[in-house]
Amino acid sequence: MRIIIAATILVLISHLGWAKEEELLFESVSNLPIHSFENDQSKLNFIAIIGGAGLKNKKGKSKNFLVSQRTTFTSYNMNYYLFPNWSESEKASYKLRASKKRASRILNLLKELRKRNSLPVYLVGFSRGSVDAASFAKKHHDKIRGIVLASGVYTNSSKNAESYSMQRIVGTKIGVNTLVAHHKKDLCKVTKFKFAKRFYDDLHAPVKELLAFDGGIPSGRKCGPLHYHGYENIESEAAKKISEWLLMDVDR
């Protein structure tokens, strides 16, 4: 398998010293580069999967907090990898995110990362990205340590999303450690907090925890990154709390 490292940049991370930022290209994963931060002191691999139409630009740009807070995540002793769409023209629909095709690409990324390190892997899915994380965990629970469902998709009546709620994909049992992170005031119609809480209460997992956030000042779309849904104005707090859970979980 041909691997191209398109760019390498050293980035100063406050807690760790120097972290290496790279644009990785794995042909079996995507035609787009995988933006990554790696450090020799890392304890786990963090794979970020954003929502909406997915990441479909070469520069790895997004207002999603999983992207804007990448140096926060990296400062907590973890390698960071931003999962892209297959190409700039591909849109990550609910159906695609739950497909074997998408899961195979994540699996190929895990195989490539295994060549770089032997650290446990966590899939961190935001909004529609929770569909990727949960679907993969149900198919390949033995390949990862855990998942984070951040502002995940839960019980709803949306024509496009109702079949892809965590209740439909996961049911009440999953074989990996699971963190449910959600804003109490999330107003997006497919990610209501009350259904996230109900899912969490019913879930049977090796380890589970609920992080319920409050605060922030919304300014954008109810289902966008600039609202309670995307932890607007508390992005750093959300990133820190998620990171703290990941480090605690990996040391269990």
Q: What is the pLDDT of residues 217-230, one digit of tens each?
A: 999 999 999 999 99
| Statement: 39-79+86-250 belongs to CATH 3.10.180.10 | no
Please tell me the predicted confidence (pLDDT) of residue 1.
43
pLDDT by residue (tens digit) across 138-148? 999 999 999 99
Please tell me the predicted confidence (pLDDT) of residue 20.
82
Sequential DSSP letters for the chain: --EEEEEEEEEEETTTEEEEEEEEEETTT-SS-EEEEE-TT--SEEEEE--TT---STT---SSHHHHTHHHHHTTT-EEEEPPPSSSS----HHHHTSHHHHHHHHHHHHHHHHH----EEEEEETTHHHHHHHHHHH-GGG-SEEEEES---S---TTTGGGSHHHHTTTB-SSEEEEEEETT---TT--HHHHHHHHHH-B-SSEEEEEE------S-TTSSSSGGGTTT-HHHHHHHHHHHHHHHHT-
- Give pTM, 2 decimals: 0.93
What residues of the chain score a pLDDT lower than 50?
1-10, 12-17
pLDDT by residue (tens digit) across 159-184? 999 999 999 999 999 999 999 999 99
Proportion of the chain above pLDDT 70, given as a percent: 92
Please tell me the predicted confidence (pLDDT) of residue 175.
98
